[in-house]
């Protein structure tokens, strides 16, 4: 069953070590997945702690509800982390949160379940929605979008060099037969893509780009970064694990911007201690160890950044 598919949590100890600074604190996992980080954190927390998780995926919700039934410190919210601030305000916890963890991208159970349509490794319906109970599927979008729109998504979100060529092939093929399966799309892209990267399927970038677009992943990331800062208390930690250069760039630039403070005209006589700085970066970007990459090849692209809210 899809819900029983194996999931190996990436940077498990590193993320929880960075996140948990107060055993009795309040913590948020914006991407529950199958609860690896959440359970590991709960094992370190006291009975006084609170832990709130978010996830859009109905199967993740099932796993989280089982945990909530057995641990009164934990609660799950079935929603995108882009709504984080509103939910935390409703709970009366704004400015009181000790740590926010975001493990971005798609989880192993989602990738490994052919029925979700995220992967070209096994044939399945061309869906790609993280919440497969609402919204537009990848098939619906690909069968109606024009060449320019498809090419823009492939280029912007997949950094695909042959975006226009692939987009034209998609539109030409769907005019003959509507796109409905992952194997159909993967074969089409492989044929249209002249690049043969060693160890990488030619459809990798395109599938990634379509998934990011369908799920508004970068838009939601921009929203949640600002909201995480809003809900954290001074000294609270923001821990973000990304798997894609665009995501990591957004996180890195957000931390740098909040660390530097608002730009001030050069001629104004403002002392350094008067500049409003909201975050402090903690250490360098963390990557998975060689041992972890051997155990779980998907961890090889993971990058974790940690920042602390400044008082």
pLDDT in tens, 117-165: 989 888 999 999 999 988 999 999 999 999 999 999 999 999 999 999 9
pLDDT score of 251 more than 70: yes
**Cα distance between residue 264 and residue 302, in whole Å:** 35
Q: Is the pLDDT of residue 79 over 60?
A: yes
Q: What number is the average pLDDT over the span 90-110?
A: 92
Which of the residue ranges 5-9, 192-196, 212-216, 224-228 would you say has the lowest mean pLDDT?
5-9
The pLDDT mean for the chain works out to 92
Whole-number pLDDT of residue 59? 87
How is residue 281 written in tokens? 């970066």
pLDDT in tens, 39-50: 999 999 999 999
Determine the average pLDDT of the residues in 10-31: 97
Lookup result for tokens 């911007």: 257
Q: If you write DSSP's letter for every residue of 36-56 in order, what string do you get?
A: HHHHHHHTTS-TT-EEEEE--
Using CA atoms in the order 48, 54, 60, 62, what is the torsion angle rounded to 10 degrees? Answer: 60
pLDDT (0 to 100) of residue 8: 74
pTM of the model: 0.90
- Range 88-114 average pLDDT: 92
């Amino acid at each position: 069953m899809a819900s029983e598919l194996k999931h190996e949590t990436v940077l498990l100890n590193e993320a929880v070590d960075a996140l948990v600074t107060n055993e009795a604190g309040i913590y948020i996992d914006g991407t529950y997945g199958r609860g690896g980080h959440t359970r590991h954190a709960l094992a370190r927390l006291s009975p006084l702690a609170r832990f709130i998780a978010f996830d859009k995926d109905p199967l993740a919700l099932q796993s989280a509800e089982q945990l909530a039934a057995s641990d009164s410190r934990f609660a799950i919210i079935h929603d995108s982390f882009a709504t984080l601030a509103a939910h935390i305000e409703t709970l009366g916890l704004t400015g009181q949160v000790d740590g926010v963890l975001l493990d971005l991208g798609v989880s192993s159970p989602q990738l490994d379940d052919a029925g979700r349509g995220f992967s070209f490794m096994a044939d399945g319906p061309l869906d790609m929605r993280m919440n497969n109970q609402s919204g537009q599927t990848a098939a619906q979008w690909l069968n109606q979008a024009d060449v320019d729109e498809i090419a823009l998504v492939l280029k912007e979100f997949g950094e695909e060099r042959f975006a226009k060529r692939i987009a034209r092939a998609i539109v030409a093929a769907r005019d003959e037969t509507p796109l409905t399966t992952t194997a159909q799309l993967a074969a089409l892209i492989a044929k249209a893509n002249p690049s043969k990267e060693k160890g990488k399927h030619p459809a990798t970038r395109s599938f990634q780009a379509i998934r990011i677009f369908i799920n508004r992943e970068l838009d939601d990331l921009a929203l949640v970064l600002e909201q995480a800062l809003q809900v954290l208390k001074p000294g609270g930690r923001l821990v973000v694990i990304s798997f894609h250069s665009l995501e990591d760039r957004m996180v890195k630039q957000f931390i740098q911007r909040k660390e530097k403070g608002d730009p001030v005209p050069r001629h104004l006589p403002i002392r350094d201690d008067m500049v409003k700085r909201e975050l402090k970066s903690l250490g360098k970007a963390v990557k998975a160890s060689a041992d972890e990459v051997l155990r779980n090849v998907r961890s090889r692209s993971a990058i974790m950044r940690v920042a602390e809210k400044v008082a």
